[in-house]
Structure 1
Amino acid sequence: MSTVTTETMAQIKTFVQDKVHQTTDAAGLSATETRKKAQVTLKQAQATSSAVANSSMDQLQSLLDQLNRSRVVNDVKLLGQAPNLLVSGLTGGGLDDRKMLLEQLITLLASIPVTSNISRTLSNALITIIWGDLPHPPVSFMGPEHRFRRADGSDNNIQIPKLGAANQPYSRNVQRTQPQPVNLPDPGTVYDLLLARDSFEPHPSGISSLLFNFANIIIHDIFSTTRKPGAHSSYNEHSSYLDLQVLYGANQEEQRRVRTGTMGLLKPDAIGDWRLVMMPPSTTALAIMFCRSHNYIAKRLYEVNEGHRFDDLEGEPLDEELFGIARLVNCGLFLHIILRDYIPVILNTNDSEWYVDPLEVISNVPGVGKVERGIGNSVAAEFSVLYRWHAAVSQMDEKWMNDFLSSRFPGRKPEEVSPKEFVEAAAEIKSEFADTDPGEWNLHDWERDAQGKFSDAVLAQVVKDAVSDVAAAFRARGHPSWFRPIEILGQITARKDWALCTMNEFRHFLGLKTYSSFREWNPDPKVYEAAEMLYGDIDNLELYPGLMAEEAKPSIPGSGLCPGYTISRGILSDAAALTRGDRFYTNDFSTSNLTSRGYEHSTAPQPGSHGLMGKLIMSTLPGQFTYNSVYALYPFRIPSKTIQMLKEKRVLEHYDTSYPAPARRWHAIESYSASRNLLADSAFFVTLPSVSYDESLMSSALQTISGWQGVVGEFYSVNTDTLMKARSIPFAPSGGQRIVDLLDIVNTVSAQFTSTLFGLPTPGTHGLHLGMSPQELFLMLAKPLAFAMYGSFDFQGHQTWQLEEQSETCKRRLKNLIWARLHTIDGILSPVFSLVQNISNVLGGPGNIAAGEMAKQFYHALLASGKTNDQLVRDCLNMMISLTATHSLVMMQIFKWFLLEENAEELSAMYTLAQKTDPDSMDAMRRRLMEAYRVSSITPAQPKFALQSVVLPDADGAKVQVQVGDGVFISPSALYRDPLLSDDPERYSASSDVPVRLGLGDAPSQAILEVALPAMARQFFKHAGLRMAPTGPPPVVNDAGPNPNEKLPYFVGNRGTEHPLPMETSMHLIYEAQ
């Protein structure tokens, strides 16, 4: 066996991985996480770039070698390529600076005559390289005045501060040279013949009206033509950036009115643009959701307090800091919804992970070099016309508009209302809102509660109806009747005030073929004959009707919006200008400005879709949509089209396609007795997702291990001590202080114990990767536990998909391992595993596959029960899930409490106890640990769901009426800190005997934890000088709960991700080494 060849080893690894454990790829933990896929793609791209750079560097090295040898280059072609080789070799990305190519070049230049041609050539190339490393002028500045968006949008381009700011004139893109006919057709006649809707035609791609209401937000965000008396309509009262001025206001005064002035918050359900009052309800609802999103983000930022950046701020400075960052994050979310939800539907690519991303750095483009970004933007008047998408208004929104304007012009028809009268009516509406408190605006007669918020159910109903409502097709003769005065006003402005180019001139500007006839422009005889009668020559066709009545594109891959051909091309150009030109979306869109948590929130897609619209909907309307509802995850297409797409992708079974039901009723239980009764009640209540198992059998199997409590305690004690010594490092250059990651030690030891008890294979030392490392195993078990704890809180829909997906992936792999272990114990696979272990003893280290004595005793007891292997696999898996990751959740809370400054006396008592190992001292330590967890626990119990209607007695004699299907929330305060438990339940008592429920509360795990936790904790408490490292514990944020008074805590990981358990994070402690 000692002469195993490389080929044989490869065959062995393949055999074992295929036959014994088919899901060993650790990437399975997160294979469906879009961001990690993107990281893989980026690494591949970097590898490709590096390969190209390596080729250039090889050639450059050859050139330098020849010059160093003889100062003569034999390869004339190579000499001619010298400047390009230098540039590509030293700037192409992935430069290995350890090879000293730049230093070799400098040394060479210093040794050859400065007047030689090769010296001048190489010197010029060197200057080109070092000059090109940095942007000129700088693109980002550190000053506090440049960090945040200005209220009016100014300072986006720091060199030209007014570029794209509010109250600046529109730009003009196209030079008009076509002579304008003296007698242009009457705008009303143009509307009647080319634009007026003659019938409703549903959108060919099945786009929902919600997309066009979202388009309303975009369009009104960047276009607000001045209509003030005496003012010229060439001025734009909004900025030329996607900065949500419809929410935040377009000047300092508008922004002041929408803000609370404290903690960076906006007034509840307030919006900054009165024009949205004249929009359908779903447009307004979307704006309100972005208001809620801002406040959600601001609160999150403060709770996380990344890098302690808010510690020294209070009052106005804190308000400004939180508001500025929250706006950057909220606008980033808005942008990525546009890029990853909105544009993919427009392009008919929303079934793909690919999306148009105009934000990235693009350099070394042949003939172009670097493609500029972050240089500012100014929206053009031509695009104000292009974005008038009134033809797509749905029947539901058309009815709303008919009712709204009919109430403003009672007894009159649209054709009887002049543009002047419409402008006057709009001015009257503005006067009703513009100078009043946005937090009190009456929007669609929705009622506000005492806090000023609208009902979640009302807003959700508006969204649901808009998702179900198909938009209209773009086409000539498709504009609803009440748009007549608006369209006439638009034509007059485009013609008279702006003097815009013709349709053909605009197409020429976009690089499109100009039309040679009206029939080519629109082959419908009713349309082209009318246009020809109005304009005579195709070159006279005005831009406004030319865009609005052009033939629409078909619905095909790459074309989902299906507007006119010219609009379709113009949209993409303008989208690139709006996004790539914005400094805050390019050069300054960074974790430095948004924080890691903010950056993650604004860019990471909602699991279950490729976009972020579901995140906006579910985080601002908690509990109104199931986590896998197509209405929330794919809201820009009507459900029937989404279902068809999901069927084609063969993933339909993962989604809820039903019309969303009203939100589940939740009840928060406040008494200890009620909560204990609920947890024990399986007749009236059920736990979802279920992680139950045969606790009696597992407890009995545990008892068969000789002296199991001593064995368990010794295991945890020895392994914790060993790991602390191995993984702690000196905290200072001198002295005995050391620093260690508490969570790393706890997670590793708990996983080691689980691996030992359940006989899981461990990784070998020479690459035979059959098992999991402790770190892998911990994550494998933490993710199912996280789902078990929080997965059924349906007011947490934005979190649930990922929890469930990761849980199922991990459980599949673990089931395979447990199944294989059971069969090695019962003899079925013993010969195979004997062979594999013999091989592994050579390649991977002895014993990394074989079950130890503890596991053998445990499994023999299980097999003797007569249960099927499938039942035993489930029992083992659920016990592993309940046990392993609970260690870190409990230990983190315990140590956070003991290491608080006000608890120094109790910490000293623990130090004294930890110097002893007698049973009484260990029991005293156990009681103190449990008591510290009782007073500091923040994690609720698993929720319960009613199988029958029942009345629950609660605190102070209250009765809780629970109906079938209702959810019951059991808070940690009810479970641990009810006044009935003691005279002062919030106070720590070292002699307390109040029972403490750990994790999911299952008996075997509870029994092991009550032995394990003191054994582990003692190894930390026995050291003098124990204290928290300056970084502090992992941040905790609070998400929506069943009511405003109850919240769900999440632990923030090192990359800004949130978890129900402390995962992918650390908690460093400092201590004096013994």
Structure 2
Amino acid sequence: MTVSTHHDDSPGLSGRLRDLLHHVFGNQKSPTVYPNAPGNSAKPVPTGLADDIDKLGFKDIDTLLIFLNSAVKGVNDDQQFLLEKMIQLLAKLPPASREGKKLTDGLINDLWDSLDHPPVASLGKGFSFREPDGSNNNIHLPSLGAANTPYARSTKPLVFQNPNPPDPATIFDTLMVRDPAKFRPHPNKISSMLFYLATIITHDIFQTSPRDFNINLTSSYLDLSPLYGRNHDEQMAVRTGKDGLLKPDTFSSKRVIGFPPGVGAFLIMFNRFHNYVVTQLAKINEGGRFKRPTTPDDTAGWETYDNSLFQTGRLITCGLYINIVLGDYVRTILNLNRANTTWNLDPRTKEGKSLLSKPTPEAVGNQVSVEFNLIYRWHCTISERDDKWTTNAMREALGGQDPATAKMEDVMRALGMFEKNIPDEPEKRTLAGLTRQSDGAFDDTELVKILQESIEDVAGAFGPNHVPACMRAIEILGIKQSRTWNVATLNEFRQFIGLTPHDSFYHMNPDPKICKILAQMYDSPDAVELYPGIMAEAAKPPFSPGSGLCPPYTTSRAILSDAVSLVRGDRFYTVDYTPRNITNWGFNEASTDKAVDWGHVIYKLFFRAFPNHFLPNSVYAHFPFVVPSENKLIFEGLGAANKYSWDPPKARAPIQFIRSHKAVLEVLSNQKDYKVTWGPAIKMLSGDPATSFALAGDEPANAASRHHVIAALTAPKQWRDEVRRFYEVTTRDLLRRHGAPVHGVGAGPRTHEVDVIRDVIGLAHARFMASLFSLPLKEEGKEEGAYGEHELYRSLVTIFAAIFWDSDVCNSLKLHQASKAAADKMSALIAEHVREMEAGTGFLGALGKLKDLITGNDVHANGNGVYTNGNGVYTNGNGVHTNGNGVHTNGNGVPHAAPSLRSFGDQLLQRMLSQDGRSIEETVSGTILPVVMAGTANQTQLLAQCLDYYLGVGEKHLPEMKRLAMLNTSEADEKLLKYTMEGCRIRGCVALYRAVVTDQAVDDTIPCIPNKDDPTFARPLSNPQVAESARTLKLSTGTRMLVDLTTASHDPAAFPDPDEVRLDRPLESYVHFGLGPHRCAGEPISQIALSSVMKVLLQLDGLRRAAGPRGEIRSYPASQWPGQAGRPPRDPAWSGLRTFTSADQSAFSPLATTMKINWEGRGDL
């Protein structure tokens, strides 16, 4: 056959196409065509490769290569138009092209594989939440894995087994029983806490019916059924039926009562976490999904409200549970806790689809098997302490009989009676003899004591002859159960999970004694039963990382396979584990963070359950699965021992609020008896030199530092004009840069919108700090510079929060780590600039200054700051931008003078460097960096709340404020400053911590009370019974105080008509910048900064909130979670303090993060 070639093709094209198609499809011969073949119509004769090549061109080679690459990688870049090019290629080929059909088949296969067949998730109402019995996990097999269904079988038993196997009692007495004098501690010093979680996991998926050993009474999913119950009735018994809550400190499983108290205490932590979660869900109410009924008689509405909160809370709590299993439990099992790595075995990994592999199925459900029921019996790890506890508990149940010698029938009868005598109502049960308090919960300190002792308790090692004698009847029953199930042999099971069979007893366990016993009982390794064989196997040695649990060899491999199946097969942990299903906040709250504890996450459970007992960096809370003494050695090896506290948990005294203006002034003025608490955080961030910084302490050195900082900040006579000009120009620039036209209801042709907190107020303060201290910002569209504007703002807020807003014990360590990294970067950049500045003070620096004098230009230029000239034309490297002509103008076309903070900042740095006896590094760490850290977040917070007030309750003042803003006179600016300070006073929320160092008494009152007509709790009423509220607070040494400047700002004794805006109040009367020796050193600068930004915003025509929630600040009354729902607040009076959320509501924030405003026009900026 002659091959024809298209006249446009190069000589090599045919060969290239032929080679490529051969590679893709292989070199196959055309099938023989028989002219008289049966059929309804003549079959087309397939064309060959030569005809295909005749139709294709150069571009088709690229298309085939892209197709092949896409098939191998499993990713299609649709910007390359592969689909369209493939259609073009296929359209060129002859209708009967054999290769064309294969390409078409491949395309169809690729399109088919893009979707799940059948789908694994459903929008049906029955699939939204976990069913109490675990059904409906697999949407196509609803009963798969449900409670009260038969166990599965994993391994086919083919080996002939002895009809007369060894006596179970003999097996226990020879292969399993522990000699009390020969306890073997776990080789990796794993604590009993890990095995308490293992107990919860085991009873979560295995609960064999005593009436029918083939039936599993619980679900085959890790759904925390020991807490939530195995069916509807058990679940309702543990629920309050109100607000999604569980009954305090309860759990469903009666069996847990018979375990060492640490297991119950573990479950109680999950109970408390659940109640914390549903409380926050109701508070945030993301997207209005939890609709609280407005009338008490709306029974159906209240039931829906309760159930929506409960079920969502359960999904989140189970999310944390599974992350603890993977992030703490499995990491310890694999000894990853000893390595400086964040890698983990997480079965939820997202696998791509490709030509070479298909992703492992997920969300297909699960059914646990009898073999794994036997694998998870880890009684040999019971510690000496728990051995004694269990023996005593069983002896008491047996009426004094020794459980080691009691008959199995007596033990089973006694355990049955023990469970029968446990109250059916979970709230009536006790734990370890603890007494429930009036709120239904147990005492926190007593529960923490149980947990502390469990964390310090070394578990036992795996291996033969290490099961406590008290478990004799239980183990005999286990052997009998395995025989009724007719399970496969040990070697058959090993082969099933991909392991080599034991070819000798020595291979099973090299201990000659064990080998001899096994040989006497079973004759051959192939005859050894599964359960006795596992108990007789040698334990794996430690590997770091690799082997931390050190179980028997078979168990080591099996449990990892089971973990993958349990997690990846569960729809609620895979395809339906999304922020949309469990809320953004819930998803974030349950998630791990690789930057904290290498991905361990159990600390969240401890801190939410016991917020007042564990220090934020307590090793007891962060790493409870290894005893502290061993953790100390591990962390010393990792160089991280100093990051954690090794002190045992201890209850902290409750915080005492100080509310009245008089008491606030008294406390803040007394440095002798009430000390600031910011020193450790400032030292952590900035090093030892910072201990003498103004805010770090109350010693003479701190006072000297304050005077030095104030002198440095206010020395230049023109500083007020410099600051005012900078903020006004910067605010206009930010409005121009981030404002955008908006359309919709209520919007006009010139309506614009901006996020005033995120993109204006916050960035204005960040730019100020960058310009003042030469922090290099990235210009738009360029990579030069150390920070983007938002990045710098976030860094400044993070650092500030670590010092002044570190109130959430659960997120404290994460906050400290992030703030330390941000502070180190900032310190290095400032120090580098200071060294360059110092180097420029010689001949070259003097020459540059002489040039400026000769040319008459006031030039302040560098890569970091703002440059200006005498004409007011400027650009920047630090965040102040020009328009297209390089000139900022006001509405009349008059150029705005550019801010010249670079020289002001350098002079400030020089003054700070003048402190005697300090190196550049010491000055940067001890003075300059702390000043930077203290100057952005609080100003953003105050101005955001001030603006929020005037756009809401105080909007009647806007016309007059706008009039003043347009005057541009010093008198008008002074009045605007008063308006700004009043807005900050009325709506601002500020409080300061102090520590009591000597026993004291303070007379205090409650100046304001909640307004029942204000659902936001932001607008208080003056207390009409303020005299009756007088009390003397007895403050013992060590008491933590929260000095509430918000209530003091609403105290009529200091601020008559506290709810009204009055311009006759002296500027020095305001307290939101503090009082006494630690009053904000930068208050004058802050006042000008706040009023200047406010002035520019007021100049906007039609200034108003954006419509709907976008124009609102989402905030809630601040309160400390007390560890359990239903507990009365320690101080129920109005505090005025607020907590906020991030823009996506995935986390709480100490300051407002977003509020959109609208205005008309833009060209006048």
Q: Distance in 1 between matches of 2:489 and 2:125?
A: 45
Q: What letter corresponds to residue 950 of structure 1 in structure 2?
A: Q
1:898 to 931, 950, 965: 950
Residues 1:573 and 1:114: Cα distance change in structure 2 (over 3 Å): same
Cα offset, 1:523, TM superposition: 2.5
Structural mapping, 1:85-484, within 5 Å: 86=67, 88-89=69-70, 92-198=73-179, 199-227=182-210, 231-310=211-290, 315-350=302-337, 351=339, 352-364=341-353, 368-433=357-422, 435-436=424-425, 438-484=426-472
Residue 1156 (structure 2) pairs with residue 1068 (structure 1): yes
Equivalent residue number for residue 764 of structure 2: 749
Q: Distance in 2 between matches of 1:73 and 1:280?
A: 80
Indicate the SS of the match to 2:1102.
Answer: coil
Contact kept in structure 2, 1:59 and 1:85, CA below 8 Å? no
Contact kept in structure 1, 2:191 and 2:459, CA below 8 Å? yes
Residue 980 (structure 2) pairs with residue 929 (structure 1): yes
Structural mapping, 1:558-569, within 5 Å: 558-569=546-557
Which structure shows the bigger proportion of residues in helix conformation? 1
Q: Distance in 2 between matches of 1:534 and 1:715?
A: 90
Contact kept in structure 1, 2:463 and 2:551, CA below 8 Å? yes
Contact kept in structure 2, 1:619 and 1:798, CA below 8 Å? yes
Residue 925 (structure 2) pairs with residue 945 (structure 1): no
2:533 to 546, 557, 569: 546
2:476 to 464, 474, 488: 488
Residues 1:1039 and 1:180: Cα distance change in structure 2 (over 3 Å): farther
Residues 1:583 and 1:662: Cα distance change in structure 2 (over 3 Å): same
Structural mapping, 1:1008-1019, within 5 Å: 1008-1019=1085-1096
Indicate the SS of the match to 2:612.
Answer: coil
1:671-719 deviations in Å (ceiling 9; x for gaps): 3333333233322232233354233333333333234333322322222
Indicate the SS of the match to 2:1001.
Answer: strand
Cα offset, 1:932, TM superposition: 3.2
Residues 922-931 or 606-615, more deviating:
922-931
Structure 1 vs Structure 2: percent identity of aligned residues? 30
1:525-584 deviations in Å (ceiling 9; x for gaps): 333323333334433322221112221111223111111111111111111110111011
Equivalent residue number for residue 1021 of structure 1: 1098
Residues 1:652 and 1:95: Cα distance change in structure 2 (over 3 Å): same
Using the size of structure 1 for normalisation, the TM-score is 0.86
Residues 1:808 and 1:442: Cα distance change in structure 2 (over 3 Å): same
Q: Distance in 1 between matches of 2:501 and 2:23?
A: 53
Contact kept in structure 2, 1:73 and 1:79, CA below 8 Å? no
Unaligned runs of 5+ in 2: 1-16, 26-47, 294-300, 683-692, 695-704, 849-859, 868-873, 879-899, 1006-1028, 1123-1128
Residue 782 (structure 2) pairs with residue 780 (structure 1): no
Q: Distance in 2 between matches of 1:98 and 1:999?
A: 57
Structural mapping, 1:641-656, within 5 Å: 641-656=630-645
Equivalent residue number for residue 938 of structure 2: 886
1:697 to 695, 708, 726: 708
Q: Distance in 1 between matches of 2:1089 and 2:376?
A: 65
Q: Distance in 1 between matches of 2:1039 and 2:633?
A: 32
Equivalent residue number for residue 809 of structure 1: 821
Residues 1:716 and 1:392: Cα distance change in structure 2 (over 3 Å): same
Equivalent residue number for residue 43 of structure 1: none
Residues 907-916 or 274-283, more deviating:
907-916
Cα offset, 1:127, TM superposition: 1.0
1:362-388 deviations in Å (ceiling 9; x for gaps): 244776523211100000011111101
Structural mapping, 1:836-847, within 5 Å: none
Q: Distance in 2 between matches of 1:281 and 1:309?
A: 38
Unaligned runs of 5+ in 1: 1-55
Using the size of structure 2 for normalisation, the TM-score is 0.80
Contact kept in structure 1, 2:586 and 2:1146, CA below 8 Å? no
Contact kept in structure 2, 1:824 and 1:830, CA below 8 Å? no
Equivalent residue number for residue 26 of structure 1: none
Q: Distance in 2 between matches of 1:835 and 1:592?
A: 63
Structural mapping, 1:553-592, within 5 Å: 553-557=540-544, 558-592=546-580
Indicate the SS of the match to 2:576.
Answer: coil
Q: Distance in 1 between matches of 2:560 and 2:982?
A: 61
Equivalent residue number for residue 31 of structure 1: none
Q: Distance in 1 between matches of 2:159 and 2:844?
A: 85
Contact kept in structure 2, 1:1025 and 1:1071, CA below 8 Å? yes
Residues 525-534 or 347-356, more deviating:
525-534
Residues 1054-1063 or 324-333, more deviating:
1054-1063
Indicate the SS of the match to 2:219.
Answer: coil
Contact kept in structure 2, 1:670 and 1:970, CA below 8 Å? yes
1:302-361 deviations in Å (ceiling 9; x for gaps): 333333433577622222222222211111111111111101111111232111011123
Residues 1:821 and 1:88: Cα distance change in structure 2 (over 3 Å): closer
Residue 1036 (structure 2) pairs with residue 958 (structure 1): no
Q: What RMSD in Å do the two structures reach over aligned CA positions?
A: 3.6
Cα offset, 1:272, TM superposition: 1.5
Contact kept in structure 1, 2:55 and 2:93, CA below 8 Å? no
Indicate the SS of the match to 2:53.
Answer: coil
Q: What letter corresponds to residue 709 of structure 1 in structure 2?
A: R
Q: Distance in 2 between matches of 1:448 and 1:251?
A: 26
Q: What letter corresponds to residue 552 of structure 1 in structure 2?
A: A
Cα offset, 1:100, TM superposition: 1.6
Q: Distance in 2 between matches of 1:673 and 1:707?
A: 36
Q: What letter corresponds to residue 443 of structure 1 in structure 2?
A: L
Equivalent residue number for residue 40 of structure 1: none
Q: Distance in 1 between matches of 2:1097 and 2:365?
A: 56
Cα offset, 1:657, TM superposition: 2.3
Residues 1:105 and 1:769: Cα distance change in structure 2 (over 3 Å): closer
Equivalent residue number for residue 52 of structure 1: none
Residue 1071 (structure 2) pairs with residue 996 (structure 1): yes
2:731 to 720, 727, 736: 720
Q: Distance in 1 between matches of 2:119 and 2:260?
A: 44
Indicate the SS of the match to 2:434.
Answer: coil
Q: Distance in 2 between matches of 1:410 and 1:823?
A: 81
Q: Distance in 1 between matches of 2:843 and 2:391?
A: 80
Indicate the SS of the match to 1:797.
Answer: coil
Contact kept in structure 2, 1:786 and 1:1061, CA below 8 Å? yes
Residues 1:263 and 1:923: Cα distance change in structure 2 (over 3 Å): farther
Cα offset, 1:933, TM superposition: 3.0
Cα offset, 1:986, TM superposition: 6.2
Residues 1:215 and 1:91: Cα distance change in structure 2 (over 3 Å): same
Residues 1:548 and 1:938: Cα distance change in structure 2 (over 3 Å): farther
Contact kept in structure 2, 1:167 and 1:236, CA below 8 Å? yes
Contact kept in structure 1, 2:291 and 2:305, CA below 8 Å? no
Indicate the SS of the match to 1:414.
Answer: coil
Q: Distance in 1 between matches of 2:54 and 2:436?
A: 81
Equivalent residue number for residue 624 of structure 1: 613
Indicate the SS of the match to 1:205.
Answer: coil
Residue 548 (structure 2) pairs with residue 533 (structure 1): no
1:124-164 deviations in Å (ceiling 9; x for gaps): 11111111111111111123321211111111000000000
Q: Distance in 1 between matches of 2:565 and 2:777?
A: 54
Q: Distance in 2 between matches of 1:797 and 1:1034?
A: 24
Count the aligned residue pairs.
1004
- Higher normalized contact order (CA 8 Å, seq sep 6+, divided by chain length): 1
Residues 515-524 or 388-397, more deviating:
515-524
Residues 1:547 and 1:1032: Cα distance change in structure 2 (over 3 Å): farther
Contact kept in structure 1, 2:153 and 2:369, CA below 8 Å? yes
Equivalent residue number for residue 512 of structure 1: 499
Q: Distance in 1 between matches of 2:167 and 2:149?
A: 30
Contact kept in structure 1, 2:964 and 2:973, CA below 8 Å? yes
